[in-house]
Amino acid sequence: MLTPVSYVGRVVVLLAAVLVTTSITMSGEWGEEGVTYGQLGKDVILTCAGASPGSPVEWRWDGATVLPGDSAAPPGQLLLPRAQLASEGIYSCHDTSGLLLSSTALRLGRLPGVPSFSCRASNYENFSCFWASSVETFLPTRYIATYRKRLQQPKDESQRSPTSDMGLCIQDPAHPLLCTVSKSQFWSSYRMNVTEVNPLGSSFRLQDITVQAILKPDPPEGLRAEPVPAAPRRLHVSWEYPSSWPREPHFQLRFRLQYRPVIYNSWSVVETANVSEVITDAFMGLEHVVQVSAKDFLDAGSWSEWSAEAWATPATGQTAAPSEAATAAAEPEWPAEEPSLAPNNEPVAGRSDPTEKVAVLVSLGVFAFFVLAVILAFAFLLWIRMKKHSKEATKNHDLLAAAIHMKALPKAQIL
């Protein structure tokens, strides 16, 4: 429910927008003097200034007496029904002697549509909003961008000013579709208002944003990739923080490095909090391409765009120890197939290093030992059961033989 102070604040913002719109429309700042603006598809009426009431006048269109079809000329006026873009031009009115009385340039267009816009924070100190028109108006257009910071309601309403948390989103004349809010508060929410204005009217859109949700750093800068001497499968990659990100102890970035041989399409990806990384599974003799992106260390917002690419080839012609030479000879210099069958735009996990391979082998060995132990235990239990069954069978056989023997003896001998 709106409090009286909140209601007054909204009224102030809307009134300011209306006043600015009215001043722009009425001041003639939309173009040269003597321009009349009309709405496409609507009836347009031009008035001959300087003509005596009721006196006949002659209208000319771009200097010719031929007027657009369906036009009508009541005394002192010219009616253009359902005007279209083809009806634009310079209209002049003359008296019966041909003397020019007045002229105007007619421009036709549409009312502004509701603008679409989005906001992005390249750091935790400022954020910018970008917008675009949803309707092609064919008319000169301006934008008014304002914000209202959404604060917690104070206990005493008298301590809060209706306009204390409002301001203009500053526009750069060189970028008419962008504005910036400086010294923003990282954990605060803002209600943005972007109003599109042209000579026929205005339209606006409201949107609530939270700075931490729209955080998207600029890409890292100064990316470099270099071969590591005497290491045919290593590349050293380094980069720098984006210049737009202030380096403070409590606001750090983490990075995502992707790399691949240039002849393949699948990427390997690793994450790090450092500004350098050593690739340990590069392919010998192949040129590699690397890129890096950044994100807030606490996972706020989204990843930056990928940086510009850097290229490097692992070192060749190195002198290796005998054991290293034997290991290198055992490894194929050219890969038999692509590192991964993942889609081109979907990064794959980074390749394992020797430590990971050893861990996998140990895990497989433990698993094999466990399976063998289970099999042996099962075989032992089966052997015990068979042995017990064999003893019982022998005992039953002895009892049966004794019974047969007793049956075969004479009755007197049995008694």
Beta carbons within 10 angstroms of residue 179's beta carbon: 25
Distance CA 247, CA 51 (A): 70
pTM: 0.61
Alpha-carbon distance of 376 to 192, in angstroms, equals 73
| Cα–Cα distance measured from residue 304 to residue 327, given in angstroms and rounded to the nearest whole number | 40
Phi, psi of 411 (to 5 degrees): -65, -35
- For residue 69, the model assigns a pLDDT of 86
- Going by DSSP bridges, is the β-strand pair 288-296/310-312 parallel, antiparallel, or unpaired? antiparallel
| Residue 291, burial from CB neighbour count under 10 angstroms (0-12, 13-18, 19+) | buried
Task: Count other C-beta atoms under 10 Å from residue 355's C-beta.
Answer: 9
Task: Provide the pLDDT for residue 152.
Answer: 54
Q: Work out the number of other CB atoms within 10 angstroms of the CB of residue 61.
A: 19
Q: What is the 3-state secondary structure (H, E, C) of 295-317?
A: EECCCCCCCCCCCCCEEECCCCC
Tokens of 198: 């042209």
Beta-sheet strands, E only, within 135-229: 142-150, 166-168, 170-172, 175-181, 189-198, 201-210, 221-227
The two three-digit tokens of residue 296, written as one number: 């807030």
Question: What confidence score (pLDDT) does residue 164 get?
Answer: 53
What does 348-377 look like in DSSP terms, one character per residue? EEPPP-HHHHHHHHHHHHHHHHHHHHHHHH
Q: Where are the domains of the chain?
A: 4-22+112-154+161-213, 41-109, 221-319
Instruction: Report the C-alpha gap between 307 and 349 in whole angstroms.
Output: 19
In the numeric block, which tokens belong to residue 59?
Answer: 């209208």
Give the Cα separation of 146 and 342 in Å (integer): 45
Tens-of-pLDDT digits for all 415 residues of the chain? 445 444 444 444 444 444 333 333 333 567 667 899 999 999 999 999 878 887 888 999 999 989 998 899 888 889 999 999 999 999 999 988 889 999 999 999 999 999 999 999 999 889 999 999 999 999 999 999 999 987 655 555 555 544 457 899 999 888 889 999 988 888 888 999 999 999 999 999 999 999 989 999 999 999 999 999 999 999 999 999 999 998 777 789 999 999 999 999 999 999 999 999 999 999 999 999 999 999 999 899 999 999 999 999 999 855 444 344 334 434 444 443 444 433 344 444 444 455 556 666 777 888 888 888 889 888 888 888 888 777 666 666 565 555 555 555 555 544 4
Tokens of 65: 């007496």
Write the DSSP symbol of residue 65: S
4-22+112-154+161-213 and 221-319 share one CATH topology?
yes
Cβ contact 290:270 at 8 Å: no
Model confidence pLDDT, tens digit, residues 146-186: 999 876 555 555 555 444 578 999 998 888 899 999 888 88
CA dist 154 and 139 (Å) reads 45
Q: Which CATH class is domain 221-319?
A: mainly beta
Torsions phi, psi for 48 (to 5 deg): -85, 100
**CATH of region 41-109, choose from 3.40.630.30, 2.30.110.10, 2.40.50.320, 2.60.40.10:** 2.60.40.10
**Residues 6+ positions from 51 with CB-CB distance below 8 Å:** 57, 76, 93, 95, 101, 102
Task: Choose among 198, 216, 39, 215: nearest CA to 134.
Answer: 198
If residue 64 lies in a helix (H) or strand (E), which one and from where to where? none
Q: What class does CATH assign to 4-22+112-154+161-213?
A: mainly beta
**Amino acid letter at 340?**
S
Read off the tokens for 183: 């010294």
